[in-house]
Amino acid sequence: MSGTEELLVEADGLAAELDRADPPTLLDVRWRLAGPPGRDDYAAGHLPGAVFVDLDTELCGRPGAAGRHPLPDPAALQAALRAAGVRAGHPVVVYDGGDGMSAARAWWTLRWAGHRPVRVLHGGFPAWIAAGLPTSTEPPTPTPGDVTVAPGALPVLDAGEAARLAAADEGVLLDVRAAPRYRGETEPIDPVAGHVPGAVNLAAPEYVDAGRFPTADALRERFAAAGVAEAAPVGAYCGSGVTASRAVLALHLAGRPDAALYVGSWSNWVADPARPVATGEAPGR
């Protein structure tokens, strides 16, 4: 599955789909790294029929050595998705507060879990509001779904695989954090500053702007400028695997459905003090 029309949906198009007899399942996954909880935003107003799903507790595992947002337990994820009304083979649309980060991680998680028909509302909740479309404060009572989680449908990197990709002559590991974090000048969250040796920095503004993606051609040009060759392996990481999910979505839009996510990202890398750390602008192979 690739192409903007299959991965993203615009607000007006989604509104038309919601008027159908069997509309897509809507998941509100609004989230902020430093809070407050997205559930508060949901309670204040959400797309009619949307069910809130919490990124931290339902779409990810418990934080620890595997990272701040590790892979979820498949059984727990399946229970959460079924409770939200996700049905096998039935379309799902996810949306967030507009930056595309948590929606992309939700999109990635569902695709990783084997549920292919999932799209992101382009521009998130602000795009819906800007289009003058209705909202609700009433939480729905979804009919329980029957989705079966089958992990592994999207490629994942662990620390060793990320290191090998970063060091390879062919292929690239993208570090999509802000440049000062990549260079090791600052680290507001994790205990060590720097980057995976060999990783190439490509901060988010290069491939997404205010939660909206440029054309596939523009994305291909920007990724190519960062060293992403057409047939060579590519992976992405960030601080905890959320922002990097947005990069993986952008890579899918650019025609690279093989792009891998280092889910543990920097928070997993620095959990082992034996792993090397590079600083400065150069990849540092």
Rounded to the nearest 10 degrees, the angle between the axes of helix 243-253 and helix 101-112 is 70
116 and 170 share one domain: no
The answer to whether the CB of 97 falls within 8 A of the CB of 44 is no
Whole-number pLDDT of residue 75: 98
pLDDT (average), residues 192-209: 95
Whole-number pLDDT of residue 2: 39
* Res 89 pLDDT > 80: yes
Whole-number pLDDT of residue 34: 83
pLDDT (average), residues 65-86: 98
Number of domains into which the chain is organized: 2
Pairing mode of beta strands 51-52, 8-9 = unpaired
Residue 244's Cβ-side half-sphere holds a number of Cα atoms within 13 Å equal to 27
**Domain carrying residue 57:** 4-130
* Res 5 pLDDT > 60: no
Q: Which residues pair with 119 in a beta bridge?
A: 93
16 and 122 share one domain: yes
pLDDT (average), residues 254-275: 97
8 and 92 share one domain: yes
Q: Indicate if 238 belongs to the active site.
A: yes
Asked, for residue 280, whether it belongs to a domain, the answer is no
* Res 3 pLDDT > 60: no
* Res 4 pLDDT > 60: no
Which one of the listed residues 27, 174, 238, 251 is annotated catalytic? 238
φ/ψ of 16, rounded to 5, equals -65, -40
**pTM, two decimal places:** 0.96
